[in-house]
Structure 1
């Protein structure tokens, strides 16, 4: 059995130096993208004061990022397959950079929401990065590199909370966005210098009608789910949004099946391996957010409640940070399992660890070290599972559809996260106790949210177990671009 090293180091040790640097550059884009998504969390409670707006309005600083990210990810993937993955990757980073600068200069709600929406448009950087790796790297090195890319999501998210909390406590809040803008600029420069353009492009005409239909359906669905608790699940607005989604999305699917060059090839998506992998991704999105919803609240609740741990925001961030680092640390081991047993087995193992980790978390809630250990167990499972998802997708789709297929898989995780947020919010809103005239979630309420994670992990395992066993499709040898040839010469 071949030895396995950490993904980036492995690529650097066994590939020409320029290709190893390319993997590191792409991984950095994932870290910066995830960091940008989480950096606003510590200032969400302060936004009404900082922007002189109502709390219900400042919530759009988060919602806008979610909606734009969900819509843009499959669109960016399709455009990457058509016109060049590196080109679309750079466009996403540049949009993120512009959005960060707008937020850094803003003192009112409107520019903040616009800036956060632009940051959401960069959500496709990880699927695009994985698709570039498929074209450039030797097939045997791809599992480790893609696992590293998806592990970057955990690192960025883990660093976002404590770093943001430290900056907010010691500097002006605008510094959050300036720091991230600098990191985005560095990431863009490294992509320009080190990442080759796609050799595989489908060309053709972009399905604008399909993109508009998907955007309308998804925005209505996700907006209804994410705002249902605030607006009222039985309100006319929420019911109208659900009605539009129920009408538009089936019509969109009908149209996609009759379009020669659709935005999403639903026939490919309906293949058992692709469909079941996407359903597993949906369940994993549900699972991951349950931990991020329950544990920070548990850590920050006053000790006088009898179950809260009374930690500050910075301390909470430091306790939660190791889970992201754990995702990156376990990625080479997940890649080893994928190489020897196949990505299906890796996904099943990861899903089982996620479910077991949540069960352990439900029991170990009385101390900081217990929360730390339990969250790292869940993160281990997520790291294994996330690394297996793109491998399963790429086994089942041709190279010309890699970015679009990975983008759709990322969208399914995003939908899972949104649904999990809504369900967890509903649980915590109804399972409360009065603490000094303030309603806070009960201990059983927090356990119920963690139980949601258990169920999601079991569901992901079930979907993974149904994925048909078959040998992977033949992966064509990468077509060397000028950049790759130069790397080989070095």
Structure 2
């Protein structure tokens, strides 16, 4: 297949226009079976990062036993993926535009395999984190694959394919908890990484065999200084946001990361204005139709992330009677007496009537699977609507559904039945968002900048995730479940129970981190003037 090098073609709005050569590699004559196989290959490979992240998040307590020297820093087993991924997604997207999208996806996948193998083999904590960091370089795969969908699939297929790529096949959300539960129950935590090695090798082989390379290239050289400044700025800022609750928001040791990160980003902005071939064309953000989409990504992804945090925190908390008895037994053992003797001296402050004591498997069966299935069903429907009537209305519907779901959960979130009933609206929001927002971006930004623009979209989402996660931690920490012990002298001792929070904390989270950001995103979506005509699969830039 002959490569088509596309130079920039500026317009009045500075975003570029469609070049006829954009259709050079399109699979218009391919059979339905071939197109479905290409889509399966893309989605299967795009699942590797969310699947491994879910597994690691669930298995961190078990991983901690393998690295006792890590101590409280064990949370970096998950944090480093967000930091390195957020710092490199836009660069990976840019490389896809310049070097070739299939080539970059394959290279990123190989790096993921290297990092996963290191994690499976090492007993050294620093080397384990290095492996996780190397694997995080694959976080940009999905951003590049949106470009492959745009470049390769027939135009009428693109809106629905984008929706399916965004919502996935549910492997990470549906099968992930079942797989990690089975693996860690019968084998060590290392089995997670061996599973991911096998899965990724199979997914990569299918991708290499089924997906052709896009012939489109952006005529540009790599802006190394810009890439380093941007990556450092985002990475350092995300460290501050990710660790602020544990390190202290105002401590100089933590503020240093934020100050250094903002300085790098300021230097990046200055550099990008001066260089002839910037890594990230900031003029894209000067167009409201692009900037608003990026801000919507920040807000909506933040809502998605914090909603996924709330449910495990609540439903994996032991039931009140069980937890109270465990705590009483601990107090009695410490005092070398019986539970009956200490019970009159101990009482608990806080409402944990939401606690269900679910295992990982029970949580998946009762809640996670259902909300994921709802999203998978509504994703293609949203893609179909985008193709028929435009992307703006499905985007607005998704954000309205986010507001409605979060508002209902403020009051009704204590039982799994309430969670999945309201989860239907949340699934609608999830499916329609990933069906509409990437399609709208695709119809807004020229093809030769699809990779970097998708990367920017993901970076804004990473920032939203980091901000809402930090705020979530701050909100729940301010509303702990407490044990109060009355001493024989009449003095009282109050102890906050770790990782257990009063019900009011979750009501506040749903309100402040669900309703409010979703409503702000809805206001931005209502202000959009694009997406009012049927999605064209990136045929042209809207005026």
Normalising to structure 2: TM-score of the pair? Answer: 0.82
Counterpart mapping for 1:307-346 below 5 A: 307-318=354-365, 319-346=367-394
Instruction: Name the residue aligned to 1:188.
Output: 204
Which segments of 5 or more consecutive residues in structure 2 lack a partner in the other structure? 1-26, 321-351, 485-494
What's 1:458 paired with? 519
Secondary structure in structure 2 of the residue aligned to 1:433:
strand
Structure 2 equivalent of residue 363 of structure 1: 411
Secondary structure of the 1:34 match is helix
Q: Quick one: distance in 2 between partners of 1:130 and 1:344?
A: 19
Match of 1:205 in 2: 221
Which moves more between the two structures, 267-276 or 421-430? 267-276
**Which secondary structure does the structure 1 equivalent of 2:279 belong to?**
coil
Instruction: Using the TM superposition, name which of 347-356 and 469-478 deviates more.
Output: 469-478
Aligned to 1:214: 230
The answer for the alignment partner of 1:419 in structure 2 is 467
Give the distance between the partners of 2:143 and 2:517, measured in 1 at CA. Answer: 23
Deviations 1:158-204 (A, max 9, x none): 43233212321222211111111111001110111011111110243
1:408-460 Cα distance to aligned partner (Å, 9 max, x none): 10111111111111000011111112158524211000111111111121121
Q: Distance in 2 between matches of 1:387 and 1:218?
A: 27
Q: Does 1:138 align with 2:154?
A: yes
> How much is the aligned-residue C-alpha RMSD, in angstroms?
2.2
Q: Which residue of 1 aligns with 2:67?
A: 51
Decide whether aligned partners of structure 1 residues 238 and 38 sit closer, same or farther in structure 2, where only a CA change above 3 A counts.
Answer: same
Indicate the structure (1 or 2) with the bigger Cα radius of gyration. 2
Contact 1:37 1:157 in 2 (8 A): no
Segments of 5+ residues of structure 1 without an aligned counterpart are 1-10, 479-490
Runs ≥4 residues deviating over 6 A = 11-14, 472-478
Task: Answer whether contact 2:97 2:218 (CA < 8 A) is retained.
Answer: yes
**For the structure 1 residues 148 and 283, does the alpha-carbon distance in structure 2 shift closer, same or farther, using more than 3 Å as the test?**
same
2:294 alignment partner in structure 1:
278
1:448 aligns to what? 508
2:454 to 400, 406, 412: 406
1:485 corresponds to = none
Given the alignment, which residue of 30, 47, 60 partners 2:46?
30
Render the CA deviation track for 1:193-222: whole Å, top value 9, x for unaligned.
011111110243100000000011111110
| Distance of aligned partners of 1:158 and 1:222 in 2 relative to their CA distance in 1, 3 Å threshold | farther
The question of whether the paired residues in 2 share the 8 Å contact of 1:82 and 1:203 is answered with: yes
**What is the rounded CA distance, in whole Å, between the counterparts of 1:326 and 1:347 in structure 2?**
17
CA contact (8 A) 1:283 1:459 kept: yes
Aligned match of 1:121: 137
Residue number in structure 2 paired with 1:3:
none
Number of residue pairs aligned between Structure 1 and Structure 2: 468
CA contact (8 A) 2:289 2:529 kept: yes
Partner of 2:6: none
Structure with bigger helix share is: 1
Match of 1:246 among 241, 259, 262: 262
- CA offset at residue 363 of structure 1? 2.6
> Contact 1:320 / 1:375 at 8 angstroms: preserved in 2?
no
Give the C-alpha shift of residue 15 in structure 1. 4.2
Residues of 2 paired with 1:250 and 1:388: CA distance? 32
User: Residue in 2 aligned with 1:306?
Assistant: 353
1:110 aligned onto 2:158: no
Superposition TM-score, scaled by structure 1 size: 0.91
Contact 1:99 1:115 in 2 (8 A): yes
1:70 aligns to 2:86 (yes or no)? yes
